[in-house]
Amino acid sequence: MKTKIYSLLILLLFTSLGFSQGFRDKKEKIKALKIAFISQKLSLTTEQAEKFWPIYNKYEDKIVALKETQLKQRFQKKELTDEEALKQIEEAEAAEVEIMSLKKKMRAELIPVIGADKVVELQKIEHEFHKKLLEKLKDRKGPPPPRR
């Protein structure tokens, strides 16, 4: 559940930055930081890394694209009819199923490459990265205004 929230917040960050070149630059910078973070924490051998990254990137790119699409739909500023809202709910549910399917396929492909223990560790590392990213964003924003 927390992973979903972190992913949603990261995607919200991406959409709030806009879709300009600056957005692409920030997105690429975050991706590079994530790769470095995972590489350092996962301690892969050269042989494992050569097999790991193509698999990981293939699935991660698809998952991120699905999440970005979901996020765009959720934050549309137009009024929806009940029929449109129902369709949007069904599309979001289908995307969630697809995301889980992609994660399952990725894990199945990664286990022979890095072992089940490192696949479990990868999930923890991704969670830790998202947490650190959110903390960094919070720090940049500054403290919340005092409540009245």
Residue 144 has pLDDT above 60, yes or no: yes
pLDDT band at 69 (very low <50, low <70, confident <90, very high): confident
The model carries a pTM of 0.72
pLDDT in tens, 75-128: 777 788 889 889 888 988 999 999 999 999 999 999 999 999 999 999 999 999
User: Rounded to an integer, what distance in angstroms lies between the CA atom of residue 38 and that of residue 35?
Assistant: 5
Angle (CA) 35 40 42, round 5° = 90
